[in-house]
Chains A and B, each alone.
Chain A
């Protein structure tokens, strides 16, 4: 069964003014759609066709580079749309907050370390909050790699990710990646991050 581009769980303009509607429309309707179509094309007629995206990512080192790039792009953007929402809790709560305090000392420390990972990723990529066992770590990956891939330096379950490809922010923020990452924290869907952390 072919992978399908999932609908955004909110309107294109729902994340304004932090992430603009034009960016969302192109990011979802063009970039994410292209990853989805290219993934399906790369898998068509292969033994991998029909596996779940998680199964594919867990053995990505055995796959052609087109599956790595587009499978990563397909999964990462699915996660990205879901870990954002208009409104909602402005900070983590409950067990997630406890785990963040344990791992980083405080929410503020976490935010600084996550931001640093996002700003220092040179070129295109992602910064992640990753669940390892009951704990949390921060990592970043190049291009469309992610922590579910067997070849990732830091492996685990991504519970929050920020896209730092320039296409994620260039129309609104141009070269100012720090402003984009700062704005991103205004639209993080902490309920969804907590759901992913609970597993």
Chain B
């Protein structure tokens, strides 16, 4: 199947001043688009030509995996933001976070550390395993928890392209602003 770039679910400047329109123009319009285009080109004539994205993420290697997982990771990342976000989790997610991490603040602290210490390009994730238990994981480059049978709930892209135009070397400042546009309603919908 041929993959297409999903439109952003908000205006390009909707996340200002926390994530700039310029950053989103490149991040979505160039990087995410390139992963989609590369994936479509790479799967031609392979066993993955008619595969869905989940199959590609679970089974492919090399360039097909890298581009397929990055298509998923970026769609997942962009979908979770809003200009008018729910700023805290509620219901079952709130309870699960408090059970696992003690409090929302303790969770955020642990997640921030995971995002800040992922060396090089990669991602920090809140995931749920088959038993429903929450945990925080880091992946490098295109790494995606779906490959390991985990359900991702929330992610922070720490490739430098996600923040360099806005924050340069100050990754912690980007992570702090990330929370200001994260819509917990979207995260709850993934539980």
Q: Name the residue of chain B whose CB is nearest to the CB of A22.
A: B168
Which stretch of A5-13, A48-56, A164-172 is in the interface?
Answer: A164-172
**In the complex, A174 has a CB within 8 A of chain B:** yes
In the complex, per-residue mask of A132-166: 1 if CB is within 8 Å of any chain B CB, else 0: 00000000001110000000000000000000011
B53 within 8 A of A: no
Of A26-34, A77-85, A186-194, which binds chain B?
Answer: A26-34
Q: Which residues of B contact A174 (CB under 8 A)?
A: 26, 30, 161, 165
Interface size classification for chain A: 20 to 34
- The 5 A-B residue pairs with the shortest CB-CB distance, nearest first, are A166-B160, A123-B121, A123-B141, A124-B120, A143-B120
Contacting A at CB under 8 A, from B93-134, are 119-122
**Which B residues, 65 to 83, have Cβ-Cβ distances below 8 Å to chain A?**
66
B residues bordering A, Cβ < 8 Å? 26, 30-31, 34, 66, 119-122, 140-142, 159-161, 164-165, 168-169
Given contact pairs A123-B120, A123-B140, A175-B31, A26 touches B160 in the complex (Cβ within 8 A): no
Q: What distance in Å separates the Cβ of B49 from its nearest Cβ neighbour in chain A?
A: 22
Task: Contact check, B160 vs A124: say whether CB atoms are below 8 A apart.
Answer: yes
Interface residues of A (CB under 8 A from B): 26, 30-31, 34, 65, 69, 122-125, 142-144, 165-167, 170-171, 174-175
Q: Are A175 and B160 in contact (CB under 8 A)?
A: no
CB–CB A167/B141 < 8 A: no
Cα separation A34 to B159 with both chains bound (whole Å): 18
Residue of A with least CB distance to B141: A123
- Option from B30, B31, B142, B161 in Cβ contact (under 8 Å) with A122: B142
B169 touches A26 (CB 8 A): yes
Query: Chain A residues near B121 (CB, 8 Å)?
Result: 123-124, 166
Q: How far is the CA of A143 from the CA of B168 in the complex (A)?
A: 18
Closest Cβ of chain B: how far from A71's Cβ, in Å?
13
